[in-house]
Structure 1
Amino acid sequence: MSRSRLWPIRSEQRSEHLIGQKVLINLLQGSSMDLVLNFADSHFFTPFVYPTSWPEDEPLRQIIGLLVVTNLGAAVLYLGLGALSYFFIFDHNFMKHPQFLENQVRREIKYAITSLPWISIPTVALFFAEVRGYSKLYDNVSESPLGWPGLIFSMFSFLFFTDMCIYWIHRFLHHKLIYKHFHKPHHIWKVPTPFASHAFHPVDGFLQGLPYHIYPFLFPLQKVLYLGLYVFVNIWTISIHDGDYRVPRVMEKFINGAAHHTDHHLFFDYNYGQYFTLWDRLGGSYRHPSALMGKGPLDFIKNLKSSSAGHANGKEE
């Protein structure tokens, strides 16, 4: 075959190769989950699990990898952060409350661990869309529409957007036609521990987590910041169930902390918000925390002890 006949073929092959490289680059720039998935591929999946002949950007492989990474990551975050909070922050005197259930901690953990794999299925579908490049996630600050100010703004807009969405989703889940089917299991824990933070019905858990995943499809967000925010929301979710009511006094009316969320568990129709009290105030569902007025669960336990002690002293007399 002549050299002139070979040239078009080689040129076409080079073009296909370049196109393939561009597609791969676009895929690898798709989401923050690709950072996690690439790390898992290079350090675990490729050398130890998958055959080297199976391309890392092959869709089925990505889905399987995302399922594994998502489930392991969720379990580690939940159990690890939950344990730290339970042993070092949570006041175990809460367990003396009359509404604290028998074997509650074990039941919370069991319910959460059972639900997380089901929650991961639709979540992985969204992660997969991110990895395939359908989101607005970007790598470098230079890609931000507004540079560093845009990066900082996106952090606050993420919190505002997700807080707003979760408020309305949470309130929807309290509708009488919906509540008993999906949200009621989370309200079994009247006096929650940090392990109640993820103890949701799978539908409930996915719906309340949905705003975090929708945001990067609607608005630009830097990948590492997205991962950081994802970890933060898990920490926050645990923190509002840990019974630590300490909030700077000036922030008590604005931050939806553990005291606010404890009242949500106890009184049901109040304080639906996630981080802030804004939407509860606008929606007429705000309740100033009982614990900040000396009427919280720990105060109830102290009063029980006092009345029991007084009753015992009365008998002795």
Structure 2
Amino acid sequence: MDLVLDVADWYVLTPYVYPSSWAEEGALRQLLSLLLLTNLGATVLYLGLGALSYYCVYDHTLMKHPHFLQNQVRREITYAMTSLPWISLPTVALFFAEVRGYSKLYDNVSDHPLGWTGFFLSVVSFLLFTDGCIYWIHRFLHHKSIYKLFHKPHHIWKVPTPFASHAFHPVDGFMQGLPYHLYPFLFPLHKVLYLALYVFVNIWTISIHDGDYRVPGPLKGLVNGSAHHTDHHLFFDYNYGQYFTLWDRLGGSYRHPSALMGKGPLDLIRRLQREAKGNQQSEAKGNQQSEAKGNQQSEAKGNQQSEAKGNQHTHKEE
């Protein structure tokens, strides 16, 4: 995070914000700057990537699902934007520790004993470490003693949109994000790679809420994509994983996605639409039959009246 702080100091904070008497290395200034940058970055990533996914990827047909709430998108955004500042407070404490040099973040690839090999292995180990940690944190948040207090607010959105991705209770949001920040205190990680992975994490979090169930065939059983996470929102006790299905399989919480079996939210919507269309057609057919029957009855009645009137004229002439 010190790379972001250095850029912000050079171009904005030092020349335009802080008085010259406030040294860039000052703890108070760094804390205030990190608080500003963390909230600004989280907001830009959430709203920017969320909007991109919502307008370019998300299938808006899902908004016709019976479980889709009234004004849900606005409510998701409001909840997320209310929670993000609170989530940022403990997050800034971790960023501050990184900036002060307590982490294992490094500047140059040559600083790692394994060089480029270590650089790329960091990506794999980061994904595996955070995936395992988040699985157990997420599963813990489903424990009945704390679920209603911390995690249930995120499950209000049974059929989520990309904007539900960050709509967490602050404690829930921080706990599930904690492994990302703990990793560089435990393992060496390049500073630029850390920032790239941080952005990737936000993209992934949005993507598993976007309703796009496409996954390459061989990876469907391995990657915990949107189809898997959709079932988590619908059925609660399955598919706790973040990136992979490994821990769900080991923990007995894996559920093959309903959407991949033709039983997902979109399939329900299509079935309801077909039923509604069939009912409309049946109703229209019934109305036509009733109208035709009414016309026949009116015609018959008119014929009877004409015949009776003709008979009256005949009797009168006689």
Whether TM exceeds 0.5 here: the answer is yes
The yes-or-no answer on 1:173 pairing with 2:145 is no
The yes-or-no answer on 1:147 pairing with 2:115 is yes
Residue matched to 1:299: 267
CA distance in 2, matches of 1:244, 1:144: 38
1:237-248 aligned within 5 A: 237-248=205-216
Residues 78-136 of structure 1 show CA distances to partners (whole Å, capped at 9, x for unaligned) of 00000000000001001000100000000000000000000000000000000000000
- What TM-score, normalized by structure 2, do the two folds share? 0.89
Residue matched to 2:132: 164
Query: What SS does the corresponding residue of 2:16 show, helix, strand or coil?
Result: helix
CA distance in 1, matches of 2:13, 2:115: 35
The one of 26, 37, 42 aligned to 2:5? 37
The one of 265, 271, 277 aligned to 1:309? 277
Residues 135-167 of structure 1 show CA distances to partners (whole Å, capped at 9, x for unaligned) of 000000000121111110011000000000000
Residue matched to 2:224: 256
CA distance in 1, matches of 2:224, 2:137: 16
Query: What SS does the corresponding residue of 1:95 show, helix, strand or coil?
Result: helix
The one of 18, 22, 25 aligned to 1:50? 18
Q: Deviation above 2 Å: which 4+ runs of structure 1?
A: none
CA distance in 2, matches of 1:113, 1:38: 26
**Residue identity matched to 1:113:** M
Residue matched to 2:200: 232
- What TM-score, normalized by structure 1, do the two folds share? 0.89
Residues 61-94 of structure 1 show CA distances to partners (whole Å, capped at 9, x for unaligned) of 0000000000000000000000000000001001
Residue matched to 2:80: 112
CA distance in 2, matches of 1:84, 1:309: 33
CA distance in 1, matches of 2:196, 2:99: 17
Residues 213-244 of structure 1 show CA distances to partners (whole Å, capped at 9, x for unaligned) of 00000000000000000000000000000000
Residue matched to 1:286: 254
Residue matched to 1:20: none
Residues 3-54 of structure 1 show CA distances to partners (whole Å, capped at 9, x for unaligned) of xxxxxxxxxxxxxxxxxxxxxxxxxxxxxx1000011111111111101221
The one of 180, 184, 187 aligned to 1:219? 187
Query: What SS does the corresponding residue of 1:69 show, helix, strand or coil?
Result: helix
State how many pairs are aligned: 285
CA distance in 1, matches of 2:163, 2:284: 42
Q: CA deviation at 1:316?
A: 2.2
The alignment's C-alpha RMSD in Å is 0.5
Residue matched to 2:312: none
CA distance in 2, matches of 1:276, 1:70: 28
Residue matched to 1:126: 94
CA distance in 2, matches of 1:137, 1:173: 30
Residue matched to 2:167: 199
Q: CA deviation at 1:312?
A: 1.4
The yes-or-no answer on 1:95 pairing with 2:63 is yes
Gap runs ≥5 in structure 1? 1-32
CA distance in 1, matches of 2:115, 2:131: 24
**Residue identity matched to 1:154:** S
The yes-or-no answer on 1:267 pairing with 2:268 is no
**Residue identity matched to 2:276:** S
* Greater Cα offset, 144-153 or 63-72: 144-153
CA distance in 2, matches of 1:114, 1:206: 14
CA distance in 2, matches of 1:228, 1:59: 26
Query: Rg: which structure is higher?
Result: 2
Residues 182-213 of structure 1 show CA distances to partners (whole Å, capped at 9, x for unaligned) of 00000000000000000000000000000000
